Structure 1
Amino acid sequence: MTRFPLLAGAALLALATSASATSFVATTDTLGGLTANASESTSDISSSFDDDKIVRAARDDAASFVASNGAIRGAQLEAALRHIRQQAPQVQADDQQLARAILAL
């Protein structure tokens, strides 16, 4: 009779551990997928706007924007962000990601 509670406890512990590991893997997979999509979007931006004069002119403003964590927004960066969003509406990147992509050109 003392074996049953011990076995039941061990079974519950095994199930709880398995559930935690499964949810961790699912969360990790989801976050990894989101990061990959964002990275893929910004690399698409980098390659398609590589020789664009409006985007190239915004490099200094993009550097200030990234360095100030978004506090400094220059006119050339604003123009480049509008231009990118008009030319590639499918891109789902925020201003910080776009500024980093401009710096990567």
Structure 2
Amino acid sequence: MNAIKTFSLAALLALAGTASATSFVVTTDAVVGAIGATSDASSDVSSSFGDDKIVLAARDDAAAFVASQGNIRGVRLEAALQHIRQQLPTLVSDDMQLASAILSL
């Protein structure tokens, strides 16, 4: 009977370790993908809008937007997001990525 309990415990621990490792890999992949997307948006925006007055004027609004996790949306940020999307229609980025890119200018 003791051998069965020991075997069951070993099997349970092996399954738990596998589940944790898989969860870690999925989480890591998601984080790396998000960072990569933000990095791509940052490089596209910074190379195109480094001296754009509309975009540079939105830095304070972008900071508030990022700090509030998207709850504070200033008028200048809205204008900059619209301006960026008009200038780069093929850019695929959400508002948070673009606001982060504006902050990197």
TM-score (norm 2): 0.71
Q: Which residue number corresponds to residue 23 of structure 1?
A: 23
State the shift of 1:71 in Å.
3.4
TM-align CA RMSD: 2.5
CA distance in 2, matches of 1:99, 1:8: 52
1:42–1:93 contact (8 Å) kept in structure 2 = no
Helix, strand or coil: the match of 2:34? Answer: helix
Helix, strand or coil: the match of 1:6? Answer: helix
Q: Which residue number corresponds to residue 63 of structure 2?
A: 66
Q: Which residue number corresponds to residue 92 of structure 1?
A: 93
State the shift of 1:64 in Å.
4.2
CA distance in 2, matches of 1:54, 1:17: 51
CA distance in 2, matches of 1:8, 1:52: 65
TM-score (norm 1): 0.71
| Structure 1 counterpart of 2:63, one-letter code | V
State the shift of 1:66 in Å.
1.4
State the shift of 1:83 in Å.
0.9
2:63–2:99 contact (8 Å) kept in structure 1 = yes
The unaligned stretches of length 5 or more in structure 2 are none
Larger radius of gyration, structure 1 or 2?
Answer: 1
Aligned residues: 100
Runs of 4+ in 1 over 6 A off after TM superposition: none
Sequence identity, in percent?
53
Q: Which residue number corresponds to residue 51 of structure 2?
A: 51
